[in-house]
Structure 1
Amino acid sequence: MSNEVKIDPEKIHLFHINIVESSIKDVSHKGENNFKINIAQTTMHNLKDERVKIGLFIDLIHDEASSNAKAHFVFDFHFRIDGLNQYYKLKEDNSPIFTGVLIATLLGVSFSTARGIIFERLSNTNMQGMILPVVAPQKMLSLQKKVDSK
């Protein structure tokens, strides 16, 4: 048996979604269009207010080298987690280390929501009907994007 705290979905509140960037360079015709998907993520937090922000960076790039077709999306998903202190431990420098299960859960909710938004955004293009693959949230944990500090 693991000592890891179980996730209670009723304590997770997705209260804001921000589409930070969205650009689509359409394919020339409908049909069998194959795209490669690139995903990266960032995580930010506010321990006092029990908030976590997941940033998702999703690029769809057409497989044909001669095509410039692509779609680019950046989303921010803002969560409030009741009892957030159950899901992290503080390091010596007082920075938190969150449990993998919490971050994986938030990534799963975020990516699933982004899949629906992207599906809708592509509905009036020649890429309509494209459904992003299901991606294991645990795999996305390793796809962390480095954020420039300003």
Structure 2
Amino acid sequence: MNKHSKVDAAKISLLDIITLKGSIDLADETMAIVKPAGYSFEFKTDSHIQPDDKLIRFYLHSSIKCFNETEQLNGVTADYTLEFIFEVSNLLEFIMLDDVKQTIKVDNQLGVTIASIAYSTARGVIFDKTQGTPLDGVILPVINPLNLIK
């Protein structure tokens, strides 16, 4: 890891976005016609690094629960897991191999950049995938991408 390297967006390519899971569950069919009054969101992330190929696979799992006007769960939930495959041409400048623990540590600056790109892309993907469903119009909140990689 080179402390003097700055993330250069021109050296990052988003190669693919894969929906590994996408589901909307209803407690019963009547929920399909009731527009939620609010949402709660939970996010989990994971990543795998392939240094030889200069690839980072970033996984984002989003869980959405819907609420009615009295802030009670209304029985509508959704889960999406997306995989983002990034190529970082100068990846070796931002990673450190720990042979003892058999792990790879990624510089925080690059980690936040990758998380930010993935999350902002996921916001559009999930918005699009929920059109015409009981979650029609759901938009993932704006968040600090640092919270995704902690």
Superposition pairs for residues 1-150 of structure 1, below 5 Å?
A: 3-25=3-25, 27-63=31-67, 65=72, 67-93=74-100, 95-142=103-150
| CA drift at 1:25 | 2.4
Change over 3 Å in CA distance of 1:97–1:66 after alignment to 2: closer
Relative to the length of structure 2, the TM-score reads 0.85
Q: Which runs of 4+ in 1 moved over 6 A?
A: none
Change over 3 Å in CA distance of 1:46–1:66 after alignment to 2: closer
| CA drift at 1:17 | 0.8
CA offsets per residue over residues 131-150 of structure 1, 9 Å max, x none? Answer: 111111111112xxxxxxxx
Q: Is the 8 A contact 2:21 2:80 kept in 1?
A: yes
Unaligned runs of 5+ in 1: 143-150
CA offsets per residue over residues 43-71 of structure 1, 9 Å max, x none? Answer: 10111000000000000012354522011
Q: What is the RMSD computed on CA atoms of the aligned residues?
A: 1.7
Change over 3 Å in CA distance of 1:66–1:108 after alignment to 2: closer
CA offsets per residue over residues 19-57 of structure 1, 9 Å max, x none? Answer: 000001254435452111000000101110000000000
- Larger relative strand fraction: 2
Which range moves more in the overlay, 92-101 or 75-84?
92-101
- Larger relative helix fraction: 2
Unaligned runs of 5+ in 2: none
Which amino acid in structure 2 is aligned with residue 40 of structure 1?
K
SS in 1 for 2:110: helix
Which amino acid in structure 1 is aligned with residue 49 of structure 2?
H
Relative to the length of structure 1, the TM-score reads 0.85
SS in 2 for 1:106: helix
| CA drift at 1:4 | 4.7
Q: Is the 8 A contact 1:30 1:127 kept in 2?
A: no
